[in-house]
Structure 1
Amino acid sequence: MNVHAIVLFCCLAASNAAKILLTTMPQGRSHAGTFMPLMHRLVEDGHEVTVFFEIFRPELPLGGGVKENLILIKGDDMSVDNDPVFTNLIWSGSMRGITIAIPFYQASKTCSALLENQPEDFYRLSNQTFDLFLTDSLFSPCGYALALLSKKPYVMMHSSDLEPVYSYLKGYGRNYGTVAPFSIAYEYPEFDVDKLYDRFGALVDFLETTFSAIVPANYFMQRAINPIVDNRYSLNTYVSQSSFSFYDMPESVAWPMPGANDLVSFGAHCKTAQPLKDEFERFVADAKSKGTILIAFGTICNWEFAPKRIVDAFVDALNRLSEYRIIWGYKGPKLDGLKSHVMVHPWIPQESILQDKRTKLFVSHGGLKSFKEAVCSETPVVYMPMFAEQLRNSWLARSLHFAEFLNKKNLTADYMEKQMRTILDDNSYQTSVSKLRQFYNDRPSKPLDAGSFWFRRLLKYGGRMPEYFYRVGAKLNSFVYFYMDALSLIAVSMYFVAS
């Protein structure tokens, strides 16, 4: 290639590059981490990607060439993982659809603190020019304000499956009466589409979630950001006017759902982890060990707030499994009485441990990332779901026969040991997850390639596709969307005929 061709190529590459801002929930490295494989791919494609979220304490770097503009909130720590009400809900309560307003309230308080006490930090970011905004579908009011102030196109990023309320507001036509609800009840962790009771429960959960998001959560966010966006924010309008929806739930492990031009699943990909080394390798290499068990519960499940009954049950159950080497990702009060076959560490190389062939079991909370890591590493799981859609993920894994379930509300050492040994002593769980891995990402194009393609298309059209690309249903009011006009006409006609 001659010099002129190289210069032309570089100019073309530069002309196609875009500045993209991703905004997530406060202290939102977990959500940002979900999006990172796709963000890293966009960086590889030549785009400049910046991530914003409010923080109360330092976060680990996101890597992959992604720029970070994390704003440290001065004063009280208002993150959800340190809020007593929310942490009690996580460890001991039930999270129904109606409770989704709680983290929206916390995020709105954080955004208000930023706007009131540190406006210079917010406007330093808002005065920058970006070509496209990617906004976390959950708990990011200051991110929504940045997108509205820019008057540029924006995309909704879903860190798990597509939430029911967004499906409704975008007119995707998903029937949430026929799929397992986001908030399955601990008292009845089942779903059978053939049962009227289960379908009715799914409908109730959809109505609860939709009401909670559209009324109280929307009010909290409006109170936080409407003063600076000229009263332009409402959840309904914001969601319906988004250019695209990217969600992380792999289609191959869930259930059939309607698709759409502007709906992209990017989650079905597996990363290659580094081999185990140093203290972790030395620990699991014990010749007397029957294998490794990994315990990890993510960042939101703060062990500082865990009830003593749960911690005691873990310690007792793990002590009974002395023929295995157990690594527990734990950051909390000092644990007494653990035997030497259990390693406790505040940070663990989770993917490296899971992909190590000596690992026989994963004990986790059922977040989507842990669900996917289990499939990618072909590791059976015992899930103890804590909140949000984790109980549904656990139900799905159990229905695919690569997991068992622990109910946090009645956890005992006997119960935990029984569920763990059920999987350790039955090879059918390993067979199921290995079979699932075979078709997990067996598809014509890789999900990250598809994500890259649709971002190129979006940017080609200035961040929003032509209007004929979108569904009319997203513009309809609820009365028309649910055929109430037609049903009213039928009812009136039947009345006159009968009279």
Structure 2
Amino acid sequence: MKLFYSLLIFILFLLINLHCEGAKFLFTFFHDNGSHFGSMRPLMEMLVEKGHSVSFLDTIPMEGASPKLRAIRFQLPRRQDEEWKNRMAQILWHERLTALYLGHYFVAMDKLLDVLLENGTDTVVDIVNEEWDFIVIDDLFWSFGFALTTLKHRLWELNGRKGHRPHIIVYATAASSLISAESTRSVGRNWVSRAPFCPPYPTNEDDVYSPKKFTSRIIAFYETIIEFIYIDLIIPHQMVNMKKLGVNDFTWSEFYSRTSLQYSDSVDRLGWPAAIGTDMKNVGAHCKSAKTLPKKFAEFVEAPESKGTIYAAFGTNVDWSRAPKYVYESLLRAFNQFKDYRIIFVYNGPDLPNLAKHLLLTKWAPQLEILAHHKTKAFISHGGSKSLREALCTGVPIIVMPVYAEQAFSANLMLAMGHAPVINKFTLTEESVYKTIDGILSKPEKQQKSKKLKEIFLDRQIPSMEEGIFAAERLLRIDSDYWRKYTQRMGMKLDWVKFVYFDFILFVFCFALILYF
């Protein structure tokens, strides 16, 4: 009898899993240098391992992806001329990202949508006509994703709500989602309880973002109100090429009301507390296994006279040949003072003769393998999401020098936690860089704290990507409308007048006037 029940349970288990397997996923993301694809890639590959079919729109094109992923290729242009490179260098080294800049990226991606529709009509038609169970789209800038998902749902409604309708998953690939988007989704996150998406660059603990400081709250409110006005109210009218795909009158409120899940690839549960909803899943708390460190680097870092390794890398967007001379000279002069350590600096700038033997300059380095090496003592980084995660996963103390994008947010977050000191790209000097690095190396407790933070980061009831996939597979067993009815917040259905009680305040005010007069 026990054998019968065991077989019955096993058969039911197989039936449930068979019902969930074979879902068709389409991923589409911001057209950049591959960073946003890199954020989504681990989830895509795990979905394939779970038996799902995964396709992605490849506009770059991408290399090194699993052959089990189906690439729908249509290469979009990327500017590489000297004027563009100089402009990017100006932005990276002499400016900071603000809410106003964010809007320009939405408009730029909408122009690429026009190129895609004009020259890749067959590709777009095939994507629209194919039946997808899930469409996973980047939450930042990518108007094709916004238009595609809205169109698929509107076509389903025009067809009498019959036929196939894909589930929409919005994937936040940056360190934080836009607060304006969170407000539209009625997440209930206070505008000033954490740093805005584009905060100022901190220098030390004295100017780190803190909700307790009036100046911090003013900055957060200013950035967020600009973000809300520009992104929420103006940008939908500036993404004019969505109309060419048949999407007129696009609004963020309609778009988010159609989404079933929100994934995020960020450092969560650390730092500033934030409200979450049933439909929100973080899939970024995962660690890759390091491979064997290549011989060239292993021989360098394992020199017996070395006390340890300092690794410095600032992402693929940094072109050191166009960086201000004072930046890399300040870094190198500070590095030269640590002669008892081995230093690896990922650098593609001008040739620098007469380098000290403890310093290795290289255009590429196996970052994860270096960080995982037992002799690595410090990691100097731009603070990109993937670099932060690799630092957490290897338990290496990190120093953050934000350069652009949401990296200033990450710098404020890590500094506020007391986990990472920062270097300000606008004010750095040889002395400030030296003191910052020495502050890490001279305190062994920094290593212990970093390893403890890794344990906290990964300590979950269920691995983050497993939880995200489970949430998606559950949608295959539940009607979309039923799911959204019980998971979407009622505030999404209210306009701002009602949501912030302006109507009630007006009623009380008028009632008081009547009583007074």
Q: TM-score, normalised by structure 2?
A: 0.87
SS at match of 2:269: helix
Q: Does 1:137 align with 2:139?
A: yes
For the residues of structure 2 that align with 1:411 and 1:83, how far apart are their CA atoms? 23
Is the counterpart of residue 67 in structure 1 residue 70 in structure 2? yes
Residue type matched to 1:309 in 2?
Y
Give the 3 Å change call, closer, same or farther, for CA 219–187 of structure 1 in structure 2. farther
Identity across the alignment (%): 28
Aligned to 1:168: 183
The match for 2:193 among 178, 203, 228 is 178
Are the counterparts in 1 of residues 202 and 208 from structure 2 also a CA contact under 8 Å?
no
Letter matched to residue 374 of structure 1? A
Quote the residue 1:490 is aligned against.
508
Q: Which runs of 5+ in 1 are unaligned?
A: none
Question: What pairs with 1:326-345 in structure 2 (closer than 5 Å)?
Answer: 326-345=343-362
Match for 2:66: what amino acid?
G
Cα deviations by residue, 1:25-56 (Å, 9 ceiling, x for unpaired): 0035211211222222211211111122422x
List per-residue Cα deviations over 1:194-237 (Å, max 9, x = no partner): 233322322222212222312443333x2122222241533332
Q: Structure 1 pair 45/306, CA: closer, same or farther in 2 (3 Å)? A: same
**Pair 1:11–1:361, CA change in 2 (3 A):** closer
**Alignment partner of 2:251 out of 227, 231, 234:** 234
Determine if contact 2:202/2:412 at 8 Å carries over to the other structure: no
Secondary structure of residue in 1 paired with 2:79? coil
Deviation string 1:135-186 (CA, Å, 9 cap, x unpaired) is 1000211222332333333111001323211110111111122222222213
2:483 is aligned with 1:474: no
Counterpart contact for 2:138–2:171, Cα < 8 Å: yes
Q: Give yes or no for the alignment of 1:318 onto 2:335.
A: yes
Alpha carbons of structure 1 residues 12 and 369: separation in structure 2 relative to 1, 3 Å: closer
* 1:71-470 correspondence runs (5 A): 71-74=74-77, 77=79, 82=84, 84-151=86-153, 152-159=166-173, 160-186=175-201, 189-220=207-238, 222-461=239-478, 465-470=483-488
Counterpart contact for 1:252–1:441, Cα < 8 Å: no
* Secondary structure of residue in 1 paired with 2:259: coil
Shift of 1:291: 1.0
Say if 1:38 and 1:448, in contact at 8 Å, map to a contact too.
yes
Show CA shifts across 1:351-385 (max 9, x none): 11111111011010112222221111111111111
Distance 2:248 2:285 in 1: 39
TM-aligned CA deviation for residue 21 of structure 1: 0.6
Could you tell me how far apart the structure 2 residues matched to 1:383 and 1:257 are? 23
Greater Cα shift, 444-453 or 296-305: 296-305
Using the size of structure 1 for normalisation, the TM-score is 0.90
Instruction: Check conservation: 2:193, 2:272, Cα contact below 8 A.
Output: no
Structure 1 stretch 347-356 or stretch 427-436: which is displaced more? 427-436
In structure 1, what residue type is equivalent to 2:30? Answer: M
Q: Kindly tell me: are residues 149 and 174 of structure 1, through their superposed partners in 2, closer, same or farther at Cα, counting changes over 3 Å?
A: same
Which stretch of structure 1 is more off in the superposition, 323-332 or 161-170?
323-332
- The CA deviation at 1:489 is 1.2
Shift of 1:332: 4.3
Q: Please, which moves more after superposition, 298-307 or 204-213?
A: 298-307
SS in 2 for 1:157: strand
Is the contact made by 1:33 and 1:62 (CA closer than 8 Å) also made in structure 2?
A: no
Deviations 1:324-367 (A, max 9, x none): 22222233444445333222223221111111111011010112
Matched AA of 1:263: M
Contact 2:147–2:247 under 8 Å retained in 1: no
How many residues are aligned here? 492
User: Could you tell me how far apart the structure 2 residues matched to 1:183 and 1:268 are?
Assistant: 23
